[in-house]
Amino acid sequence: MEVINTSGRRKCSVARAYVSKGTGVITINKRDYKEYFKTPTLQYYVLQSLNNAKAVGEYDVKVNVNGGGTTGQAQAVRLAIAKALVEINPELKKELRAEGLVTRDPRMVERKKFGQKKARARFQFSKR
């Protein structure tokens, strides 16, 4: 099996994953995923696709991720790994889709509008 190359995005984060047969080593930006994502929640996001596919320890995963914050990056990595697993074995798509792992989350930050404090918040109005 050659290297499978996929990408995943979430908010402003972009993750490029390279998945190949191996011993289960997950490297993110040339560091171990537990070192890169310190909290258990973020580590869970990274492993979620592999856990649902029952493929933990079967594939080596190298990921380059940039942009956004840590949660967005972890979720982008999750999507990239899920897409790679579907490319390797199309039968997994139904299971992963049921968990919502192969769908890109379209929610983005709403832009700030001129004449307003934030996207929806207005400046304080004084009648007198």
Q: What is the pLDDT of residues 56-107, one digit of tens each?
A: 889 999 999 999 999 999 999 999 999 999 999 999 999 999 999 999 999 9
pLDDT of residue 2: 87
Q: Which helix (H) or strand (E) holds 98?
A: helix 93-98
pLDDT of residue 108: 93
- Taking the C-alpha atoms of residue 109 and residue 118, their distance in angstroms, rounded to an integer, is 11
Asked if residues 43 and 33 have their Cβ atoms less than 8 Å apart, the reply is: yes
What b-and-e string marks burial along 66-95, b requiring 16 or more CB atoms within 10 Å of the CB?
eebebbbbbbbbbbbbbbbbbebeeebbee
User: What mean pLDDT is predicted for residues 97-120?
Assistant: 94
User: What mean pLDDT is predicted for residues 31-47?
Assistant: 94
In this prediction the pTM is 0.90
pLDDT band at 32 (very low <50, low <70, confident <90, very high): very high
